[in-house]
């Protein structure tokens, strides 16, 4: 009798281990699939492309604040200013200051419209 109980107990133990293993395998498969599904791989085509103050898209050119700010930073750097795209984008006063100082440049007419120094004379 004790031998039969030991065998029964052993088979139950093996069965439980197999169930746990299959559950872990299932969970690992689901997690792996979710990770692969939701992993965002940066694509070279996903970057915003600007042509001056215009964003290039499949329909044509669109004037966007993002591209205008990039142009403001680019023109400021051409004058020797040490300014990054992020500074112009994240600090509105930096944008106003650059536009008021360099607003006479024809490259900034579209980007600095309201902040041009021509409006303050």
Q: How far apart are CA 89 and CA 67, in angstroms?
A: 10
Confidence grade of residue 49 (pLDDT, cut at 50, 70, 90): very high
23 and 62 inside one domain: no
Does the pLDDT of residue 35 top 60, yes or no? Answer: no
28 and 65 inside one domain: no
58 and 106 inside one domain: yes
17 and 75 inside one domain: no
59 and 104 inside one domain: yes
57 and 100 inside one domain: yes
63 and 76 inside one domain: yes
Does the pLDDT of residue 37 top 80, yes or no? Answer: no
In order of 31, 71, 80, 85, 95, the CA distances from 114 in angstroms are: 52, 15, 23, 20, 11
Confidence grade of residue 114 (pLDDT, cut at 50, 70, 90): confident
User: How confident is the prediction for the chain on average, in pLDDT?
Assistant: 79
The range of the structural domain enclosing residue 25 comes to: 1-39
28 and 51 inside one domain: no
Q: How far apart are CA 91 and CA 94, in angstroms?
A: 5
70 and 113 inside one domain: yes
Number of domains within the chain: 2
Cut 0.85: pTM above it: no
């Amino acid at each position: 009798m004790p031998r039969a109980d030991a065998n029964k107990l052993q088979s139950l133990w093996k069965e439980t281990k197999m169930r746990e293993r299959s559950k872990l395998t299932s969970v690992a498969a689901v997690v792996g699939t979710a990770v692969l599904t939701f992993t965002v791989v940066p694509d070279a085509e996903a970057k915003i492309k600007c042509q001056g103050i215009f964003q290039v898209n499949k329909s044509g050119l669109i004037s966007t604040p993002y591209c205008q700010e990039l142009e403001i930073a680019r023109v400021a750097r051409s004058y020797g200013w040490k300014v990054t795209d992020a500074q112009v984008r994240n600090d509105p006063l930096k944008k106003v200051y650059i536009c008021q100082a360099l607003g006479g440049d024809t490259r900034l007419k579209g980007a600095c419209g309201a902040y041009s120094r021509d409006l303050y004379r």
